[in-house]
Amino acid sequence: MRVITLAGSPRFPSRSTALLALSQQRLESRGVEVIPWNIQNFVPEDLINARFDAPALLAFKEDLASADGLIVATPVYKASFTGALKTLLDLLPERALEHAVVLPLATGGTVAHLLAVDYALKPVLNALKAQEILHGVFADDTQITHYDRQPELVPQLTLRLDEALETFWQALARRHLPYALAV
């Protein structure tokens, strides 16, 4: 199984990239190949000028085409995900996620941004025809400490992230079940 992680934060390190790093560790311990991508992998001018032939965009689309799943993480600003992430997602083909299971993760300064995943990010992922979009995980800034070193999550967030990753893993496994039975 192959999973792409996509960090939509313009900052590195960040709380949302810390969630991705922890997710990557947990998935790799299960034998999943994880390919990390970060918004910093893209030249800002390529995104702003909608360069559909930009080398990084072409490589990202190729990785997505061969992936079983995508975990996308973003901070929430002004009740929505980052503009840089939106710009990147806008450059993907309409059916870029049609074969992918997607797990959205978000962080924000307050729980008032809790619904940003459902009302801002998920509609865009749905427009990219994601095969399955799972319930996301939202963490407020107080739930992730030391994100710039060794991230620590409060126990409730650890539990929610582990449950989401278990659901993600099961969804990925279901995709491979018919192939396993055919062999």
Domain extent at residue 161: 2-182
Query: What is residue 72's predicted lDDT score, i.e. its pLDDT?
Result: 98
Q: Residue 175: its pLDDT value, please?
A: 81
178: pLDDT confidence band, cut at 50, 70 and 90? low
Average pLDDT, the chain: 93
Q: What's 112's DSSP letter?
A: G
pLDDT digits 0-9 by tens, 73-127: 999 998 899 999 999 999 999 999 999 999 999 999 988 788 888 999 999 999 9
Domain CATH for 154: 3.40.50.360
Residues 156, 99: Cα–Cα separation, whole Å: 31
Residue 110 identity (one-letter amino acid): T
Would you say residue 182 has pLDDT above 60? no
Kindly report the number of other CB atoms within 10 A of residue 79's CB atom: 12
Cβ atoms of residues 52 and 21 within 8 Å: no
Domain count within the chain: 1
Determine the Cα–Cα distance for residues 136 and 6; give it in Å rounded to an integer. 14
Over residues 161-174, the mean pLDDT reads: 96
Tell me the per-residue pLDDT of 32-70, one tens digit each, with 9 for 90 and over. Answer: 999 999 999 999 999 999 999 999 999 999 999 999 999
Task: Judge whether 104 and 115 are in contact, CB under 8 Å.
Answer: no
In angstroms, the CA 91 to CA 64 distance is 13
Whole-number pLDDT of residue 180: 45
